[in-house]
């Protein structure tokens, strides 16, 4: 291997998508290099062409896209440089490289799997194509990989279908799939967006290990500057399809030159920020909310004015099995286990927790998207309380217009055959708000508010970048001016600048329209910025709930503490300690004090009041003082 | 799943009862009965019927009784495996149907398999090579097959097969083999004849299948999971088969319910034109003559196959797509 | 030429399976001279003749074409003893039949008067087998004949009143069976069989009781039981259901040719079942050696063009219907006004006059038919041109005048006429539209009648529905073939001309009245119809041929002058296809069911294949 | 970190010099696109599909001509010419003996061949019969009430013009095809539409709601599905009132069959929706409070549109030719009503194939119409396909 030779050198690569009228220039004559064994981070605003670049390198961009330029791949194990772009589409040569020499983690793991094949089948397929292993070995390798990405029971997961996994679990499966072939270059497109910080750390550690062990180079596409700081050797900053700034991590973090890079750095929310402080996006967008979404229904916010109260909600899933209908069923999954909490009017309740702990399921139960097995949910938005789980008729209609949800997976929650305009105005049409001209106007303003051009209204969801789709979802949820918005990872796919813009918007709206948010996120900094109170969930139960400050500074539960410790900061000096943070929670759990363990019987645990609205799940009858230590 | 299947099997009973009533009604609907139409037909030929025998037969088969009683009689017989008596053939229905079923099964299965063997590759080709000359050409050919009524196609093919290749017109085998036990020569003769009905019956079906495969496949080709699979380096053909094709099979699976009965009944009209020794012409004749037990039992048999087919199709559907919950209702 | 083998079955004789020819033939066989009169020449044995049938039922053509009857017609419609050696008739009342001594059924069992006795006593008079007693055709004025067995070979049937129909009935295409192979059938009869054995047979044949067993095993109209001995030239060998029916020569057949060769010449007749629509195509490609059913005049050109390929010859015979298609007003229809209108002879005559028969003949029948009222053909001794031409010329002006006279007024020159109650003259013609002729003719008639102010609509229905609607009087006008027998002799019953049957479209109710002996229907309500009925009764009483002839002519004259049915074209050609090598099938002939029994009177047993097997 | 990797030279620090404006708007697309409704967008995309556009126009023309066949057809539908039975098609010429004459046909004589009973036509090369345009010919009653006799083209006075030959009664095949379009292009549509609407609605609800409704629908489907169409036709024909005109009876049968024929489609729709309803966007719509109709119509059915369009185009031949099958059973349309199916049914014999093949010509318009519908369907499919 020639020292100093680039593993991949991209030269004047352009990608453009023809549209009905005009076209989108996603990547404009971009050049960059990736060096063997290094992590090159690609950061940039949402929609700046990062994913398009990744796909173009793999040669899997949609056929309608126009790709030009060169991407020379010099495989250390292969026989000389090849121009990936020039290779025949789906020819033998490029197929040998895909999956085998270059692995790819897609940005949207939720939809990247085929729904009708098991996870195991799809992961193992990589080995089937590129190796000569026996089925048994393939299975062993796949399960090993699944274990590495943080699954407790890889053999179970192997037989599960993608729709049975939570968002983060799918993302990890995706990572397993990309890594199982042991590529020399990994294109990781936002690999950790759906993961909580502990698992994120675990995954990053895995990547790092593989990079070191196998000499694997990584093109890490991400917007999380904390991750960049912890992982990257080199950084490329991209804006609207062009490179703004490139250099080593040090150059970028300590010596940023370009105003865009500087802007990005400034937009990151930190723990040190004051509650009322506004985030500083690259461009401030002023939204004219007045008269747009209706005005604040009840300006006075009282204490103990509960908008939504959740009592003893439980949900058990019985997994399907691929191995025929005679196989013995695998154990049921307790996704949500006896959860109770309140959301007060006008507050933002943050919900954090491990990937797969039941946050999405819980939020869908609140929306009646999933039927709860037990429990009650009461909504106090209307004149009288409505029992959410059994409402019918007018009550249900009212609920539907006053509780809205931003889905964790933006792709699949947008009708693929509706234009963005149709999607955003749909809730208005359903609830018969305004005439068609007003709706068009509202859609235009909403698009503007989330930072999308108005021409986006005529496009279909698939033609957007991950972050853009997420913003469409947010715009839709806000369109009706609902009383309660449940946001499931609303900003996970957004770069810091757009994230800042959107978070500001949400905060503004909250203030002006007295919105109430249930804010699910893995990004604790964001939760810290947004939430008034925070609930921490673990394995289907709420383990700790308290006002935001308390959680951030005086958390009691060992899981919460670990979460907070694992937050990556966009600072080269405090990189994550992978050895500590990267250990899986089942292992970490062994070190928990026995106050927090149920020891086989869930009834052993109960919520213990620590004062100031601070509750923690612990042994019945345990003294609060013992816990604080 | 097993519970679901058992439950569905139990559900078949009321369904079949309803079907049997309907079948009976449909056969009873046309005014008159077999005997009247028999007498009329004889009269039309200038002959006269043995009225005595007809009166006897009428009494014997309960035609002097009200319809509901006859219905009960028939159903009771059916349950015991007695499918009734064919007036036209003057023998038990089971004997009449006899051999024809196997020939029908042969023709239909060959047709169906040929249809699939041709339609799927072409459908896949048309979808992946949308608007290529191949796509246009095959579409054109297939649609011509649909647009020309089967009987005209049959006549034209038979006529020219006779003029050019000297193949005798119609039938499934040389007449000399009729009623003979199976032999190599007979099998060969069947093979020589079977291609005409297969082509004629198959054209329309093939073209239809091609268009449907194409349409359904086109919808799947752009999905994200296809891209994922490509990123793994999967061979494009294997990829197509494993992912999008499987996804697009939904329409096909849902139709299994109607495939089973067609295997037994075959393409009636074409069979009539080609005078195939299949069950189709027999059924049509039985219906036209109101040979009611023959027609009724045969229809009932088809109905049972349909019902089984629907169940099979539902189960296959659930296997094809694990997301499908056959029992669950929807959420509001 | 080769030496003709005198006995085609000699190998089987040699094997001892069959007795020699001399023992198989009756003492006095029927000798068919085949000396060139009527065009038939003596031939040679051997070969197979293939024919096409449209359904399994059509094996019934075999006994019709075989035409072995006690007494049969020759091709000039004279009676001729066939199975009988001779017969005597006294005053149309007493019929004595003499069998041929030594005559045997096809299984070799003797054919004797016991076979007549069995039918008469053990079948007709068995309360279980024939609940209604003897067949109605055997009753005269409701009374049974006296049946006597004189000896082994002689039987007698004697009636109190004359039964002039009897011989014609015996010579008809589907004759009433007076004799069946008793020796064979006794095993199915409760009188002769033990109940256990009977039960076993019932079980084996999968029937319900011995009655159905007997019926099943003794069926002759359709030779479905290969074991049933027969007297026909060919006997069945195939048990249905089948796609192909093979008939084999009857080794005991009673006819010989002038050279002493036992008939039939042809060894096997094979009937192949196929779609009726394909018969013409298959016949053209030489798949049939003898075809007359399921082909029609419209196929002629096509068949003729296939003649060039050498395998077949097509000839045109003449159909014997009184009219190929006729328009028949229903004088019993329920619509009062229409009934009155149609009973007005002027209207019927006008409708007839308004039809341009020449155009129809030219357009549809290539000018080969003969425009005619529904009457007898020139081939009948009863033919007179005035019957043919009665109200059959094309004269719309006269038609219009007649209609004006009848009070059906019209507005404008081309306008509609109106009935007396003010309704327009819009008529629905009922038809079963079995052939394109029907639709074509209707289309032309529609046009012709437009000129006399009638509007025509067609309603097509199934045959049974068609009948039903006529009987119930819903139909005013129907399209249907004319007289079945267009070539009658005075000996044949003129029943078709009088209201005698409920299937007569012009007067179903009057016919029913007569048929049921006055129990149902209504007596004829117009004098002309009543007169026809009276004449019919007179015919039955008439003793001499001359008397009958006079009556026939009276009836024909009334029938045609009154235009009870509106005939259009008759004597239209019917193509007959034969293999090139098939001999003795006349190139011209009369085609029909009654009285010619299709090919029956032309004796298919005398047909032979040149060049042999 | 392994040695050689660590020893790589540090990358150059690159900073773009291009001017940077964070507020720069994306000028990538025409803003009108953003405001256009989905229907409009679909139309814009459809317009780009040449073949589909042409097909659409063709169909439009075809349906327009249906309104004015009386004028377009050179003869009346029932005009017979007894001296011109089974006349083969005539060719239109423009040049006679080298000089331009305009469109004309040669006169013909007919002789009867009494041997084969064939009519033999021979062209008289010296008799030029010039066609006339916008001329007076057979009189007709336009749409049943306006009398007229003007035709687009007629034969020369006393001559004839049978461009597609004549049938067994000497009727002009071309005129009959034109008249036949009237029935063929309209009536069967009714049945197809009925069955489509029912199939989509019932199948949609069953697939989306599932549960007991699905169960009930499935059982009904099974029952209906179990009765093959032929016995139904026979039974139906038997109960149709006898005094209905054949057109009406046919209409009735098509309609009833449409009412019964939805099962196949319903099953397909249901099966697909059973899978689609598990998609997140359906959940999203439910959570917005969308009703079943909206979810099925706006979210689910579009995902199945390709199949529906394909199915629809495939049933069109059935609708045009449905009566041919029916007439095989002795039902269906009959003369004097003329449709393409009737014309083809009349051509149902070997005679025609061997001797008068021009009577099979009605197959051509059938093929053209079917192709047109098919390409139109393709265009619609593509226009509705967001990935396109
Ligand atoms: N199939 C497509 N058709 C048209 N435009 C597309 C298509 N795919 C992506 N685009 C556009 O290309 C641009 C770049 O998209 P890309 O997905 O590469 O962005 P990204 O940098 O990955 O953003 P994000 O961080 O939000 O994922 C976006 O403006 C997007 O709208
Ligand atoms: N349809 C389903 N069938 C079976 N199991 C399911 C289903 N949906 C979710 N689960 C299981 O329920 C558990 C909770 O899933 P959920 O999606 O609520 O997690 P989450 O907290 O949102 O995780 P993430 O942060 O990764 O999105 C997971 O273990 C998942 O495997
Ligand atoms: Mg992206
Ligand atoms: Mg989730």
- Residue C13: CB atoms within 10 A of its CB come to 16
Q: What is the signed CA dihedral for C508, C511, C517, C521, rounded to 10 degrees? A: 30
Q: Is A404 on the interface with D (CB under 8 A)?
A: yes
Which structure tokens are listed for A582? 């990267």
Tell me: cis bond preceding C595? Omega within 30 of 0 counts.
Answer: yes
| Identity of the residue in C301, C446, C457 whose CB atom sits nearest the CB atom of D117 | C301
Residue ranges of E strands in A282-321 = 306-317
Quote the pLDDT of residue B291.
Answer: 82
CB A408 near ligand 2, within 6 Å: yes
Judge contact between C164 and C493, C-beta under 8 A: yes
Distance A369 CA to ligand 3 centre (A): 28
Do the Cβ atoms of A161 and B323 come within 8 Å?
A: yes
**A422-426, B87-91, B317-321: which range is least confident on average?**
B87-91
- Residue B150 zone, left/alpha/beta (φ > 0; ψ -120 to 50; rest): alpha
Backbone angles phi, psi at A476, to 5 degrees: -65, -40
Residue D5 pLDDT class (50, 70, 90 cuts): very low
Distance A568 CA to ligand 3 centre (A): 21
Judge contact between A157 and A150, C-beta under 8 A: no
Whole-number percent of chain A with pLDDT over 90: 23
Ligand nearest to the CA of A162: 2
Residue B28 pLDDT class (50, 70, 90 cuts): confident
Pocket residue to mutate for ligand 2, from A167, A168, A194, A360, most atoms within 8 A of Cβ: A360
| Identity of the residue in B211, B261, B328 whose CB atom sits nearest the CB atom of D210 | B328
Judge contact between D160 and D80, C-beta under 8 A: no
Judge contact between A558 and A596, C-beta under 8 A: yes
Pocket residue to mutate for ligand 1, from A16, A26, A191, most atoms within 8 A of Cβ: A26
CB A206 near ligand 1, within 6 Å: no
What is chain B's length?
Answer: 332
Segment 280-299 of chain C within 8 Å of chain B by CB = 281-282, 285, 287
Spell out which residues of chain B touch residue C282, defining contact as CB-CB under 8 Å.
168-170
Q: What is the DSSP pairing of strand D118-130 with strand D132-142? A: unpaired
Quote the pLDDT of residue A298.
Answer: 54
A455-496 tens-digit pLDDT:
888 889 988 988 899 999 999 998 888 889 999 989 888 888
Determine the Cα–Cα distance for residues D53 and A592; give it in Å rounded to an integer: 71
Determine the Cα–Cα distance for residues D97 and D94; give it in Å rounded to an integer: 10
What is chain D's length?
Answer: 388
Spell out which residues of chain B touch residue C469, defining contact as CB-CB under 8 Å.
none
Distance from the Cα of residue D12 to its chain's centroid: 66
Distance A164 CA to ligand 2 centre (A): 6
Judge contact between C262 and C606, C-beta under 8 A: no
Determine the Cα–Cα distance for residues A248 and A243; give it in Å rounded to an integer: 14
Is residue A304 scored above 80 in pLDDT? no
**Min Cα–Cα distance to chain B from C178, Å:** 14
CA nearest A64: which of B201, D388, C238?
A: D388
Quote the pLDDT of residue C391.
Answer: 93
CA nearest C272: which of C258, C281, C282, C263?
A: C282
**C211-215, D183-187, D257-261: which range is least confident on average?**
D257-261
Judge contact between D191 and D255, C-beta under 8 A: yes
- Residue D112: CB atoms within 10 A of its CB come to 14
Is residue A287 scored above 70 in pLDDT? no
Judge contact between A108 and A43, C-beta under 8 A: no
Closest C-alpha to ligand 2, atom 7: A164
Determine the Cα–Cα distance for residues A534 and A349; give it in Å rounded to an integer: 6
Whole-number percent of chain C with pLDDT over 70: 99
Spell out which residues of chain B touch residue C60, defining contact as CB-CB under 8 Å.
47
Select the more confidently predicted residue: D138 or B175.
D138
Question: What is the 8-class DSSP label of residue B235?
Answer: -
CA nearest C111: which of C121, C101, C119?
A: C101
Distance A334 CA to ligand 2 centre (A): 9
* Mean of pLDDT over chain A: 85
What is chain A's length?
Answer: 629
Quote the pLDDT of residue B330.
Answer: 58
Select the more confidently predicted residue: A434 or D9.
A434
Atom of ligand 2 at shortest range from CA of A358: 18
Q: What is the mean pLDDT of residues D22-40?
A: 67
Determine the Cα–Cα distance for residues C251 and C20; give it in Å rounded to an integer: 10
Do the Cβ atoms of A369 and D287 come within 8 Å?
A: yes
**A295-299, C366-370, D145-149: which range is least confident on average?**
A295-299
C458-510 tens-digit pLDDT:
887 777 778 888 888 889 999 999 998 999 999 889 999 999 888 899 999 99
Which chain B residue's Cα is nearest to D229? B268
Judge contact between B283 and D230, C-beta under 8 A: yes
The CA distances from residue D349 to B155, B196, B247, B273, D313, in Å, are 8, 18, 45, 11, 29
Question: If you count DSSP H runs as helices and E runs as strands, how many of each does chain A have, helices first?
Answer: 23, 22
Backbone angles phi, psi at B246, to 5 degrees: -60, -40
What is chain C's length?
Answer: 613
> What is the helix (H) or strand (E) element at residue D107, kind and residue range?
strand D99-113
- Residue B204: CB atoms within 10 A of its CB come to 24
Which structure tokens are listed for D44? 């814009």
Do the Cβ atoms of D18 and A20 come within 8 Å?
A: no
Tell me: cis bond preceding D305? Omega within 30 of 0 counts.
Answer: no
Which structure tokens are listed for B259? 């495939």
Judge contact between A405 and A486, C-beta under 8 A: yes
C127-173 tens-digit pLDDT:
888 877 888 888 888 889 999 999 999 999 999 988 888 998 899 88
Q: What is the DSSP pairing of strand B85-86 with strand A615-619? A: unpaired
A60-95 tens-digit pLDDT:
888 888 999 999 998 877 777 888 888 888 888 888
**A43-47, B112-116, D250-254: which range is least confident on average?**
D250-254
Residue A3 pLDDT class (50, 70, 90 cuts): very low
C30-55 tens-digit pLDDT:
999 888 877 788 888 989 999 999 88
Question: What is the 8-class DSSP label of residue C129?
Answer: T
Determine the Cα–Cα distance for residues A329 and A345; give it in Å rounded to an integer: 43
- Apex CA C68: angle with CA C67 and CA C72, to 5°? 75
Q: Given CA atoms C75, C81, C85, C90 in this order, what sign does their dihedral have?
A: negative
Question: Could you tell me which residues are beta bridge partners of residue A219?
Answer: A40, A187
Quote the pLDDT of residue A323.
Answer: 46
The CA distances from residue C311 to C110, D351, D375, in Å, are 42, 18, 49
CA nearest D1: which of A212, A182, A217?
A: A212
Which structure tokens are listed for B102? 């196997």
CA nearest C580: which of C6, C212, C144, C47?
A: C47
> What is the helix (H) or strand (E) element at residue C338, kind and residue range?
helix C336-343
Q: What is the DSSP pairing of strand A516-520 with strand A484-488? A: parallel
Select the more confidently predicted residue: A103 or B179.
A103
Residue D27 pLDDT class (50, 70, 90 cuts): low
Determine the Cα–Cα distance for residues D130 and A294; give it in Å rounded to an integer: 78
| Identity of the residue in A99, A161, A322 whose CB atom sits nearest the CB atom of B231 | A99
Judge contact between B210 and D311, C-beta under 8 A: no
CA nearest A476: which of A421, A411, A515?
A: A421
Q: Please report how many Cα atoms fall inside a 13 Å half-sphere around the Cα of residue C512, on the Cβ side.
A: 16
Atom of ligand 2 at shortest range from CA of A522: 25
Do the Cβ atoms of A116 and B322 come within 8 Å?
A: yes
Which chain D residue's Cα is nearest to A263? D22
Judge contact between C327 and C351, C-beta under 8 A: yes
Is residue A2 scored above 60 in pLDDT? no
The CA distances from residue C398 to C407, C447, C544, in Å, are 14, 17, 41
Quote the pLDDT of residue C110.
Answer: 95
Quote the pLDDT of residue B74.
Answer: 84
Judge contact between C551 and C577, C-beta under 8 A: no
Which chain D residue's Cα is nearest to C297? D117
């Amino acid at each position: 291997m020639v020292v100093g030779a680039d593993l991949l050198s991209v030269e004047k690569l352009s990608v453009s998508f023809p549209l009905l009228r005009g076209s989108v220039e996603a990547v404009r004559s971009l050049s960059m290099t990736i060096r063997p064994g290094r992590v090159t981070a690609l950061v940039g605003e949402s929609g700046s062409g990062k994913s398009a670049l990744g796909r173009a390198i793999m040669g899997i961009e949609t056929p309608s896209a126009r790709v030009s330029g060169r991407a020379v791949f010099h495989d250390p194990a292969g026989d000389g440089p090849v121009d990936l772009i020039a290779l025949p589409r789906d020819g033998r040569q490029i197929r040998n490289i895909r999956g085998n020499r270059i692995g790819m983690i897609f940005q949207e793991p939720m939809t990247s799997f085929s729904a009708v094949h098991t996870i195991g089948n799809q992961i193992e397929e990589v080995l089937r194509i590129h190796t000569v292993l026996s089925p048994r070995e393939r299975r062993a390798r796949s399960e090993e990989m699944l274990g590495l990405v943080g699954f407790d029971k890889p053999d179970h997961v192997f037989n599960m279908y993608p729709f049975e996994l939570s968002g983060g679990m799918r993302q990890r499966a995706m990572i397993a799939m990309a890594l199982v072939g042991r590529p020399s270059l990994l294109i990781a497109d936002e690999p950790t967006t759906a993961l909580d910080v502990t698992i994120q750390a675990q995954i990053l550690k895995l990547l790092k290990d593989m990079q070191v062990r196998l000499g694997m180079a990584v093109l890490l596409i991400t917007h999380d500057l904390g991750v960049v700081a912890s992982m990257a050797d080199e950084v490329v900053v991209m804006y609207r399809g062009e490179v703004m700034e490139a250099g080593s991590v040090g150059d970028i973090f300590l010596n940023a030159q370009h105003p865009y890079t500087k802007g990005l750095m400034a937009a990151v929310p930190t723990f040190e920020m004051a509650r009322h402080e506004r985030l500083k996006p690259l461009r401030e967008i002023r939204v004219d909310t007045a008269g747009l979404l209706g005005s604040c229904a009840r300006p006075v916010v009282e204490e103990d004015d509960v908008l939504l109260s959740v009592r003893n909600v439980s949900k058990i899933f019985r997994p399907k099995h691929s191995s025929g209908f005679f196989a013995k069923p695998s154990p049921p999954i307790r996704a949500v286990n006896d959860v109770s909490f309140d959301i007060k009017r006008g507050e933002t309740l943050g919900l954090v927790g491990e990937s797969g702990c039941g946050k999405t399921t819980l939020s869908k139960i609140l929306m009646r998207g999933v039927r709860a097995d037990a429990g009650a949910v009461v909504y106090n938005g209307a004149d009288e309380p409505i029992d959410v789980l059994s409402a019918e008729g007018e009550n249900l209609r009212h609920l539907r217009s006053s509780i809205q949800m931003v889905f964790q997976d933006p792709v699949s929650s947008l009708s693929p055959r509706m234009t963005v305009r149709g999607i955003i105005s749909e809730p208005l049409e359903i609830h018969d708000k305004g005439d068609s001209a007003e709706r068009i106007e509202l859609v235009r303003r909403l698009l503007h508010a989330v930072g999308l051009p108005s021409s986006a209204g005529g496009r279909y969801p698939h033609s957007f970048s991950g972050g853009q789709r997420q913003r469409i979802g947010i715009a839709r949820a806000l369109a009706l001016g609902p009383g309660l918005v449940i946001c499931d990872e609303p900003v996970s796919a957004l770069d810091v600048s757009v994230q800042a813009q959107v978070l500001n918007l949400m905060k503004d709206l909250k203030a002006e329209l007295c919105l109430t948010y249930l804010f699910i996120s893995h990004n604790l900094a964001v939760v810290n910025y947004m939430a008034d109170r925070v609930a921490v969930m673990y394995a289907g139960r709420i383990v700790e709930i308290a006002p935001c400050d308390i959680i951030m500074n005086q958390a009691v539960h060992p899981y919460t503490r670990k979460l907070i410790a694992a937050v990556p900061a966009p600072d080269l000096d405090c990189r994550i300690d992978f050895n500590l943070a990267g250990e899986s929670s089942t292992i970490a759990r062994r070190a928990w004090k026995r106050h927090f363990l149920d020891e086989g019987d869930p009834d052993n645990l109960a919520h213990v009041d620590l004062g100031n609205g601070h509750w923690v799940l612990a042994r019945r009858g345990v003294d609060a003082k013992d816990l604080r230590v | 799943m097993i519970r679901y299947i058992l439950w569905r099997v139990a559900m078949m009973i009321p369904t079949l009862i309803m079907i049997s009533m309907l079948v009976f009604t449909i056969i009873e609907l046309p005014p008159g009965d077999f005997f009247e139409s028999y007498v009329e037909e004889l009269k039309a030929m200038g002959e006269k019927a043995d009225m005595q025998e007809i009166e006897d037969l009428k009494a014997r088969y309960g035609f002097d009784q009200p319809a509901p009683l006859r219905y009960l009689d028939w159903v009771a017989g059916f349950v015991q495996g007695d499918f009734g008596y064919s007036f036209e053939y003057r023998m038990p229905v089971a004997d009449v149907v006899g051999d024809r079923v196997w020939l029908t099964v042969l023709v239909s299965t060959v047709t169906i398999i040929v249809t699939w063997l041709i339609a799927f590759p072409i459908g896949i080709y048309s979808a992946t090579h949308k608007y290529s000359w191949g796509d246009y050409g095959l579409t054109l050919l297939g649609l011509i097959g649909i647009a020309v009524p089967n009987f005209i196609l049959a006549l034209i093919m038979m006529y020219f097969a006779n003029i050019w290749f000297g193949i005798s017109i119609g039938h499934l085998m040389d007449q000399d083999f009729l009623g003979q036990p199976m032999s190599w020569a007979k099998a060969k003769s069947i093979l020589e004849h079977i291609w005409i009905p297969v082509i004629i019956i198959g054209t329309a079906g093939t073209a239809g299948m091609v268009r449907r495969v194409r349409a359904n496949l086109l919808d799947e080709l752009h999905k994200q999971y296809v891209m994922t699979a490509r990123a793994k380096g999967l061979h494009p053909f294997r990829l197509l088969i494993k992912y999008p094709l499987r996804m697009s099979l939904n329409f096909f699976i849902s139709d299994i319910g109607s495939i089973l009965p067609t295997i037994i009944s075959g393409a009636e009209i074409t069979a009539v034109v080609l005078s195939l020794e299949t069950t189709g012409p027999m059924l049509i004749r039985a219906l036209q003559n109101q040979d009611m037990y023959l027609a009724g039992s045969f229809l009932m048999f088809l109905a049972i196959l349909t019902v089984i087919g629907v169940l099979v199709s539902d189960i296959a559907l659930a296997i094809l797509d694990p997301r499908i919950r056959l029992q669950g209702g929807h959420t509001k | 030429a080769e030496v003709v083998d005198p006995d085609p079955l000699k190998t089987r004789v040699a094997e001892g399976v069959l007795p020699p020819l001399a023992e198989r033939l009756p003492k006095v066989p029927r000798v068919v001279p085949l000396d060139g009169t009527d065009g038939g020449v003596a031939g040679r044995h051997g070969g197979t003749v293939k024919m096409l049938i449209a359904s399994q039922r059509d094996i019934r053509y075999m006994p019709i074409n075989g035409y072995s009857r006690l007494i049969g017609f020759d091709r000039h419609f004279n009676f001729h003893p066939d199975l009988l050696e001779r017969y005597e008739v006294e005053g149309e009342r007493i019929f004595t039949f003499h069998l041929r001594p030594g005559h045997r059924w096809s299984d070799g069992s003797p054919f004797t008067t016991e076979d007549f006795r069995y039918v008469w006593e053990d079948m007709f008079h068995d309360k279980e087998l024939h609940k209604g007693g003897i067949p109605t055709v055997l009753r005269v004025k409701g009374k049974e004949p006296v049946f006597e067995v004189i000896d082994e070979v002689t039987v007698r049937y004697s009636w109190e009143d004359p039964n002039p129909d009897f011989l014609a009935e015996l010579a008809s295409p589907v004759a009433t069976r007076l004799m069946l192979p008793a020796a064979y059938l006794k095993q199915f009869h409760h009188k002769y069989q033990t109940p256990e054995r009977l039960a076993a047979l019932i079980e084996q044949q999968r029937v319900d009781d011995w009655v159905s067993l007997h019926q099943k095993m003794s069926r002759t109209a359709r030779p479905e039981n290969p074991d049933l001995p027969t007297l026909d030239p060919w006997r069945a060998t195939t048990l249905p259901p089948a796609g192909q029916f093979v008939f084999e020569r009857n080794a005991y057949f009673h006819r010989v040719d002038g050279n002493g060769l036992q008939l039939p010449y042809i060894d096997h007749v094979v009937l192949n079942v196929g779609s009726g629509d394909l018969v013409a195509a298959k016949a053209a490609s030489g798949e049939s050696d003898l075809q007359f059913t399921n082909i029609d005049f419209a196929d002629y050109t096509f068949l003729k063009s296939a003649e060039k390929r050498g395998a077949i010859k097509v000839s045109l015979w003449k159909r014997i219907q009184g009219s190929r298609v006729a328009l028949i007003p229903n004088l019993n229809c329920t619509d009062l006004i229409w009934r009155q209108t149609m009973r007005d002879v002027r209207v019927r005559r006008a409708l007839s006059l308004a039809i341009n028969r020449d155009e129809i003949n030219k357009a549809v029948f290539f000018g080969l038919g003969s425009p005619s009222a529904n009457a007898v053909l020139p081939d009948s001794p009863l033919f007179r041109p005035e019957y043919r031409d009665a109200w059959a010329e094309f004269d719309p002006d006269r038609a219009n005048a007649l209609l004006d006279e009848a009070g059906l007024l019209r507005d404008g020159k081309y306008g509609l006429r109106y009935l007396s109650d003010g309704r327009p003259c819009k008529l629905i013609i009922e038809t079963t539209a079995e052939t394109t002729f029907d639709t074509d003719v209707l289309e032309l008639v529609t046009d012709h009648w437009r000129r006399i102010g009638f509007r025509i609509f067609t309603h097509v229905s199934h045959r049974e529905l068609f009948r039903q609607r006529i009987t119930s009087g819903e139909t005013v006008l129907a399209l249907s073939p004319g007289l079945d027998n267009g070539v009658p002799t005075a000996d044949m019953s003129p029943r078709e001309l009088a209201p005698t049957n409920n299937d007569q479209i012009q007067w179903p109710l009057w016919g029913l009245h007569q048929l049921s002996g006055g129990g149902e229907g209504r007596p004829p309500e117009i004098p002309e119809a009543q007169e026809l009925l009276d004449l019919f009764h007179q015919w039955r009483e008439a003793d001499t041929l001359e008397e009958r002839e006079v009556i026939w002519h009276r009836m024909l004259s009334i029938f045609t002058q009154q235009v009870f049915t509106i005939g259009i074209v008759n004597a239209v050609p019917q193509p007959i296809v034969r293999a090139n090598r098939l001999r003795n099938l006349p190139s011209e002939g009369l085609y029909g069911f009654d009285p010619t029994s299709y090919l029956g009177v032309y004796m298919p047993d005398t047909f032979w294949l040149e060049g042999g097997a | 970190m392994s040695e050689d990797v660590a020893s790589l030279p540090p990358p150059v620090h690159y900073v773009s010099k291009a001017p940077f404006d964070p507020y720069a708007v994306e000028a990538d697309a025409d803003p009108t696109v953003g405001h256009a409704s989905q229907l409009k967008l679909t139309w814009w995309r459809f317009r780009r599909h040449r073949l589909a556009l042409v097909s659409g126009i063709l169909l439009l023309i075809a349906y327009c001509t249906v309104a004015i066949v009386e004028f377009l057809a050179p003869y009346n539908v029932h005009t017979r010419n007894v001296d011109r039975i089974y006349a083969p098609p005539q060719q239109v010429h423009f040049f006679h003996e080298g000089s331009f004459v305009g469109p004309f046909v040669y006169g013909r004589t007919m002789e009867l061949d009494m041997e084969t009973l064939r009519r033999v036509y021979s062209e008289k090369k010296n008799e030029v019969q010039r066609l006339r345009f916008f001329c007076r010919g057979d009189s007709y009653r336009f749409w049943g009430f306006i009398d007229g006799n003007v035709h687009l083209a007629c034969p020369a006075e006393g001559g004839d013009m049978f461009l597609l030959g004549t049938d067994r009664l000497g009727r002009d095949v071309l005129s009959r095809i034109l008249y036949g379009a009237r029935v063929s292009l309209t009536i069967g549509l009714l049945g197809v539409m009925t069955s489509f609407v029912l199939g989509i609605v019932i199948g949609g609800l069953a697939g989306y709601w599932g549960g007991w409704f699905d169960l009930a629908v499935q059982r009904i489907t099974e029952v209906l599905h179990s009765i093959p169409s032929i016995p139904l036709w026979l039974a139906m024909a038997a109960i149709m009132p006898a005094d209905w005109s054949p057109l009406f009876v046919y209409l009735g049968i098509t309609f009833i069959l449409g009412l019964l024929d939805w099962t196949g489609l319903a099953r397909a729709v249901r099966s697909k929706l059973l899978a689609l309803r598990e998609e997140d966007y359906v959940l999203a719509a439910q959570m917005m409070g969308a009703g079943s109709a909206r979810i099925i119509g706006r979210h689910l059915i579009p995902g199945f549109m390709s199949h529906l369009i394909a199915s629809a185009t495939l049933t069109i031949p059935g609708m045009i030719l449905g009566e041919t099958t029916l007439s095989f059973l002795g039902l269906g349309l009959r003369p004097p009503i003329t449709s393409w199916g009737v014309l083809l049914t009349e051509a149902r014999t070997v005679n025609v194939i061997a001797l008068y093949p021009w009577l099979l010509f009605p197959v051509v318009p059938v093929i053209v119409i079917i192709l047109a519908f098919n390409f139109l369907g393709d265009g619609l499919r593509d226009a509705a396909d967001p990935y396109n």
